[in-house]
Amino acid sequence: MNILVIGRGGREHSIISKLVMSNRVSKLYAAPGNGGIQQQAECVAIDEMDMDGLVAFAKEQAIDLTIVGPENPLNAGIADRFREEGLRIFAPNERAALLEGSKQFAKEFMKKYEIPTAGYAVFSDADEAKLYITDKGAPLVVKADGLAAGKGVIVALTQQEALEAVDDMLVSGKFAEAGATVVIEEFLEGREFSLMAFVHEDHVYPMVTSRDHKRAYDWDKGPNTGGMGAYAPAGDISREQLAFCEENILQKTADGLMKEGRPFTGILYAGLMMTEDGPKVIEFNTRFGDPETQVVLPLLKNDLLEVIEAVMAGENPRLEWEDSACLGVVLAANGYPDSYEKGLPVPEFSSGQGTFIVHAGTKMKGDSLVSDGGRVMLVGAKAEQLSVASGRVYGVMHSAPSMERYFYRNDIGI
């Protein structure tokens, strides 16, 4: 089969690293890809939002299946466009992708279908939002309604932080149209974890759990980012708690979307908090998580292409998982998630001790690999125990030269 993967980040590199293992793949393309992906697939210079260009390429190269990584093309209706052109694509349509594209829609959907989540209120007027904050008090969570590249969520531990977040979104327009409406939620306490699933209509096939670290600096300090590291599985989630999530969150969501006339095909991601009252949804994504994918897919024993083919045919893919742990740490450019330099020389990590490298924001400049984003790459490892995987990753990262223009967290999985 000829396969096209749309995207340019670490998630897409992980998907491609899994697909190259399949003997059913004859040709693998990435649009636009990155410096690491081009070592495993043919990268084509088509932006992930260039619908016309992607459709034309898929037709010209007789692409048998397209897999979409990032959220923006999903919410722009790329799946609908491909299907209209008679092209097979593993991705939710625009109406189903709204579950991630609008936090207001997601909260109202969860309320309607009795899916456990935090209490909330929605505002487009800054003064009304501020009155609500003053009445409720901190801590609160302030979210931009639309897509903001993982940065539109402010966990406000003080009332002043919440008020400033409202000003940034509704007054200053920090997130443009994505922040024209805000959702203000109660602050959930507990243990955060992620649960992804392969979904086709009302068929749901969960993956192993994982745990992402969103804050920029050690011990959860600093601003929220797209994710500074992750590990899988999240070992403190019991079988009973997992079964509850599968039945009362993932399955209810898939069933609810069917009832809404928004049938879902693709990856459903639930960001969850294990509270004293049980698991509650923090957010939904309608695609593979990043960096969770980088530590979940290495544990999958199955051929990823065969899994996707089975799911799309309405068949049970019979997922099998390694009885191991996988951990990854993100290397980021100084200044991320705010302003940072691009075009920096990328450190060379040794590939010893069973570690692996996933490229995120990299590109080739002549014969040299340089940075092309805030999160540049992820160093990962698998081991029987999480502590061993962690030791392997940090052993490689601590010994790498030329790290003065980069940073990473030292507490992932600890």
Instruction: Please check the confidence at residue 96 and state whether its pLDDT lies above 90.
Output: yes
| Model confidence at 151: pLDDT above 80 | no
CB contact at 8 A, 225 and 151: yes
> Which of 188, 176, 321, 193 has its CA nearest to residue 269?
193
DSSP-based three-state secondary structure for 358: strand
Do residues 218 and 294 share a domain? yes
The total domain count for the chain is 4
In a domain, 353, yes or no: yes
Residues 137 and 211 in one domain: no
302 & 345 share domain: no
Structure tokens at 124: 């487009």
Report the C-alpha gap between 353 and 383 in whole angstroms.
Answer: 10
pTM: 0.94
CATH classification at residue 27? 3.40.50.20
- Domain extent, residue 143, equals 125-180
Residue 118 lies in a domain: no
* Residue showing tokens 């009362």: 248
Q: Do 341 and 305 belong to one domain?
A: no
Does one domain contain both 204 and 277? yes
Which pLDDT value is given to residue 159? 95
Could you tell me if residue 204 is inside a domain?
yes
For residue 99, tell me if it sits in a domain: no
Is residue 48 within 8 A of residue 73, CB to CB? The reply is yes
349 & 376 share domain: yes
Q: Which amino acid is at 235?
A: G
Q: In terms of pLDDT, which residue wins out, 179 or 149?
A: 179
- Closest alpha carbon to 91 in 74, 72, 105: 74
Indicate whether 170 and 197 sit together in one domain.
no
Give the C-alpha distances (Å, rounded to integers) separating 136 from 60, 126, 179, 181, 282: 57, 15, 21, 19, 19
Same domain, 169 and 231: no
What is the rounded average pLDDT of the residues 299-313?
98
What's the mean pLDDT in 312-327? 98
Q: Which residue has the higher pLDDT, 400 or 150?
A: 400
Q: DSSP letter at 353?
A: T
Whether the per-residue pLDDT at 352 is higher than 80: the answer is no
Query: The domain that contains 392 carries what CATH number?
Result: 3.90.600.10
Residue 46 belongs to some domain of the structure: yes
From 93, 113, 143, give the residue that closes a domain.
Answer: 93
CATH number, position 224: 3.30.470.20
Q: What is the pLDDT of residue 350?
A: 80
Token pair of 79 as six digits = 């799946």
197 and 293 inside one domain: yes
**Best CA proximity match to 106, nearest among 267, 268, 224:** 268
Least confident span in 152-161, 243-252, 385-394: 152-161
Query: Does 16 share its domain with 55?
Result: yes
What's the rounded Cα separation, in Å, for the pair 282 and 242?
16
Residue 165, domain CATH? 3.30.1490.20
Residue 318 domain flag: no
* Average pLDDT for 269-281: 97
Name the band, by pLDDT with cuts 50, 70 and 90, for residue 351: confident
Sheet holding 182-186, edge to edge: 120-123, 182-186, 140-144, 153-156
Provide the strand spans (E) within 372-414: 375-383, 406-407
Is 104 inside any structural domain? no
Question: Quick one: tokens of 371?
Answer: 């940075």
The one-letter amino acid at 224: N
Is there a single domain that holds both residue 213 and residue 302?
yes
Lowest mean pLDDT among 171-175, 204-208, 279-283: 171-175
pLDDT for 20 equals 98
Percent of the chain with pLDDT over 70: 100
Q: Are 272 and 249 in contact (CB under 8 A)?
A: yes
In this structure, the answer to whether residues 222 and 308 fall within a common structural domain is yes
Q: What mean pLDDT comes out for the span 63-68?
A: 98
- Domain boundary (312, 339, 372) is at 312
Residues 68-101 as b/e (b if ≥16 CB within 10 A, e otherwise) read bbbbebbbbebbbbbeeeebebbbbbbbbbbbbb
- pLDDT at position 150, please? 67
Share the mean pLDDT of the chain. 95
Statement: residue 146 has pLDDT above 70: yes
Flag whether 304 is in a domain: yes
